[in-house]
Structure 1
Amino acid sequence: MNERAGSTGTTRRPTLRDHQKQQTRRSLLECAKTLFVERGYAAVTIDDIVSAVGCGRATFYLHFSGKPDILQRIGAETMEQRAVTVYADLDAVLESGSRAEFARWMRRAVAWFEDNQAILPAWDEAVALEPEFRQIAKRAVSELPAAMPRYLARWGPDRQDEARLRIELLVSQLERFFTRWAVQGTIDSSADDAAEVLSDIWFPALLPPEHRPAPER
């Protein structure tokens, strides 16, 4: 069988050089993540990263355009996971109309932050320092409503901007809560208690007025 790429449509088999490039890229990502977690974003230089890997700056720039780019690549899987597993889950929870289910979702959302706590301070630092990264972070948040088509449909075509804004504000409050609670230690609460209070605030706020339960008399 002819294995030549392009003549039969067969995908070219990876070469040893391809594997080496992939391994170098993985090593750069892993070392950069370790350094960002240990030292923060601003304190780490590209020279620190390539020194930890044992390669040169030219090799780094074959894979990444700079520090914001490599941090974006580190965060890409994390943020994609948030969209797929956290906010797609929220879409189903809101459709159920159950406040109890929403409170359980809120606890899972806090757990997601706990699982990714180590890298989040570097992400926040880069947002503050790098205009380029600020746009990356903005895009990561603005894309979350796309994981929630049923939620958007309930708000109707004339209220899409409001519906998206509500999700973006939810994300912002969760991020700020987690920073003050887990990173700074300035909020004294259990995760379960915080999830209950956040549910009181956000469960009705994410339902269009016509979908909200009637107040008890």
Structure 2
Amino acid sequence: MTTQRDRQKQQTRRNLLESAKKLFVDRGYAAVTIDDIVADVGCSRATFYLHFGGKTDVLEKISAETMRQRPKVIYGQLDDVLAAGSKTEFADWVRRALAWFEENQAILPAWDEAVALEPEFKQVARRAIDDLAAAMPRYLDRWGEDRRDEARLRIELLVSQLERFFTRWAVQGTIDLPADTVAQVLTDIWFPALTP
């Protein structure tokens, strides 16, 4: 049975996560301190540390659900699309991938900042990339054991290009093209590049 104290602790944790996310989105990762987060929630640093190991830990928890869903939802679908071998389905997948980025665009700059600034957060990012390849077992099998590293690299390069493109397209606004044009060009580049 959950006690009143347990519910209060859970609510405090949710408040800390929501506050940190709002602050990271508004100010960026580097500009936010633990003091900013606890002041926004109205609790102490000690309370923060009861729930999180530090600023990178709170960002990891904020991003965990988003990044944990991406391999299963987006890259699991890519595994299916590549197994089907349809260029049209691949273009549809690109549109869905871009929609995922758009849906999560607010927190992605904070994630990128943390990867650049925090050595321990690089491990979190590395695991996220590894999870993408792990979500594509049929794709990896088609390349064979001797070319598995190459297949993983192709997935990583695809992810890198999608992330960089999305940043320039939707976040910075330095690329001004409709989504259908983008999907077709990315399909022309990546559909053959992902074929063994």
Question: The TM-score by the shorter chain falls in which range?
Answer: over 0.9
The one-letter code matched in structure 1 to 2:60 is Q
Does residue 1:55 correspond to 2:51, yes or no?
Answer: no
Give the deviation of 1:29 after TM superposition. Answer: 0.4
- What residue is the counterpart of 2:94 in the other structure? 106
> What is the distance in 1 between the residues matched to 2:131 and 2:74?
13
SS at match of 1:143: helix
- What residue is the counterpart of 1:33 in the other structure? 21
Does residue 1:21 correspond to 2:27, yes or no?
Answer: no
Q: How many residues align?
A: 196
Give the deviation of 1:14 after TM superposition. Answer: 2.3
Give the deviation of 1:57 after TM superposition. Answer: 0.3
- What residue is the counterpart of 1:193 in the other structure? 181
> What is the distance in 2 between the residues matched to 1:158 and 1:20?
53
Over residues 77-103 of structure 1, what are the superposed CA-to-partner deviations in whole Å (9 max), with x where a residue is unaligned? 000111111000101011110000000
Summarize the alignment of residues 120-159 of structure 1 with structure 2, pairs less than 5 Å apart.
Answer: 120-159=108-147
- What residue is the counterpart of 1:180 in the other structure? 168
> What is the distance in 2 between the residues matched to 1:23 and 1:161?
44
Q: Cα RMSD (Å) of the superposition?
A: 0.9
Over residues 105-133 of structure 1, what are the superposed CA-to-partner deviations in whole Å (9 max), with x where a residue is unaligned? 00100010000011111111111111111
> What is the distance in 2 between the residues matched to 1:189 and 1:23?
43
- What residue is the counterpart of 1:69 in the other structure? 57
Give the deviation of 1:22 after TM superposition. Answer: 1.1
> What is the distance in 2 between the residues matched to 1:116 and 1:66?
23
Q: Percent identity?
A: 74
The one-letter code matched in structure 2 to 1:191 is A
Does residue 1:97 correspond to 2:85, yes or no?
Answer: yes
Structure 2 residue runs of 5 or longer lacking an equivalent are none
Give the deviation of 1:34 after TM superposition. Answer: 0.5
> What is the distance in 2 between the residues matched to 1:128 and 1:165?
21
TM-score (norm 2): 0.97
The one-letter code matched in structure 2 to 1:165 is L
Structure 1 residue runs of 5 or longer lacking an equivalent are 1-12, 209-217
Give the deviation of 1:17 after TM superposition. Answer: 1.8
> What is the distance in 1 between the residues matched to 2:88 and 2:63?
31
Summarize the alignment of residues 201-216 of structure 1 with structure 2, pairs less than 5 Å apart.
Answer: 201-208=189-196
> What is the distance in 2 between the residues matched to 1:55 and 1:183?
33
TM-score (norm 1): 0.88
SS at match of 2:170: helix
The one-letter code matched in structure 2 to 1:119 is I
Query: Greater relative contact order (Cα 8 A, min sep 6): structure 1 or 2?
Result: 2
Give the deviation of 1:15 after TM superposition. Answer: 2.0
